[in-house]
Amino acid sequence: MPEPKDPVLRPIDVFAGARDASRPEDRLREVRKRAARLREELLSAPPVACYRSRSLVRVPYPTRYALRDAFRGPTPFVHILNRVFLVQFEAEGQLRTLLVSPSDVRANAETPFFKRLGGSFGPFQELGQRLIAPEIGTVEFCLAEAGLSPEDVDYITYDHLHTQDVRRWLGAHGRPGLFPRAKLLVMRQEWESTLALLPPQRDWYCPGGIDGLDPSRIVLLDGDTKLGESVVLMATPGHTEGNHSIVARTSEGIFVTSENGVGPDAYAPRASRIPGLRRYAEETGMEVVLNGNTLERGLDQYISMVQEKEVAGASRQNPDFPGMVCSSELSPYFLFPGVTPTFSFGDLTLGKPARPARGDIRPRAAGAALTA
């Protein structure tokens, strides 16, 4: 018999058909309208019990990708700060723990683009790596700091699978991973793309990063999915075909996590003080600045970024910018002058983490893939 679907995961249809119109302007208008509807629905829900973000590693990233055609300056690289997010929420009468973007920093360095970049330091590779891509924290430390154990993690997810090697977390080829109970939540399109990459994509995916995973640990999502009442995994194609955004109703409003853009400046360029962004927005009418290393679906990415910022709404910390807490956030660094973000969230701590009751542990039979 097929295993029953996870009752914590509920498909929703807020954006069903919103992008069906043949005219791009009509698609954008419909998505914007429905984003407002989802925002109101989430604001009526209780805040998640805990929302924390912690820095893992700084990564050099070409400015021409991070800020596309908007930046006016000579700096060829920016720093993006990769973070892990801990979200705890109630569902089915129990506390659930979701980890967003838990990165295996050392394994992810095998991603072809970053491996070539690291190799450019020659005999000074180790020193250059520490200087250009300093590690700040680890997933294990972030969990321990929150008073949680690996057994407490129910789900992990990534807005997309660029650079990610998930084998350390879930295990592979019969070897156990760090999280014995966690399941990976991923859009079906992202999973299928990762299994059959074309050259424009291949440079950004970690070789073998999903090889040998137990199928029972993979939950393939076919669209927008609600976790409890206060978390949504929202399909936002663009940066990759199977991109999704993590939406959380917190005590400070709604936060949306994605890498369609590299920080709040990308979602509000008219308010940005980064050279060129405001002028670019005024001259072109662009509402957002795309993070465009692969440009898999450029128009969809533009619409998705508007969708994200409309769901998030204005940040309470700085109302000039939306509550876009990006998984790889533009960060100032002395080696890359001229691209200091106007506003960034930094590490966040909202609510107090708690260990779920041991009654929450309900291992599933091995070998049966889940869908929702």
Digit-by-digit pLDDT tens for the chain (372 residues) are: 234 489 999 999 999 999 999 999 999 999 999 999 999 999 999 999 999 999 999 999 999 999 999 999 999 999 999 999 999 999 999 999 999 999 999 999 999 998 888 765 554 455 455 666 789 999 999 999 999 999 999 999 999 999 999 999 999 999 999 999 999 999 999 999 999 999 999 999 999 999 999 999 999 999 999 999 999 999 999 999 999 999 999 999 999 999 999 999 999 999 999 999 999 999 999 999 999 999 899 999 999 999 999 999 999 999 999 999 999 999 998 888 889 999 999 999 999 999 988 554 444 333 334 444
To 10 degrees, the CA torsion angle through 141, 142, 146, 147?
A: -30
Helix or strand (DSSP H, E) at 114: helix 112-119
Q: Which residues contact 343 (CB under 8 A, 6 or more apart)?
A: 264, 265, 271, 315, 317, 318, 320, 321
Q: CA 315: distance to chain centroid?
A: 18
What's this model's pTM, rounded to 2 decimal places?
0.92
The Cα 28–Cα 26 span in angstroms is 5
Confirm or reject CATH 3.40.470.10 for domain 9-350, answering yes or no: no
- Residue 83, H or E segment: strand 77-91
Please report, for the chain, the start and end positions of each structural domain, with discontinuous segments joined by +. 9-350
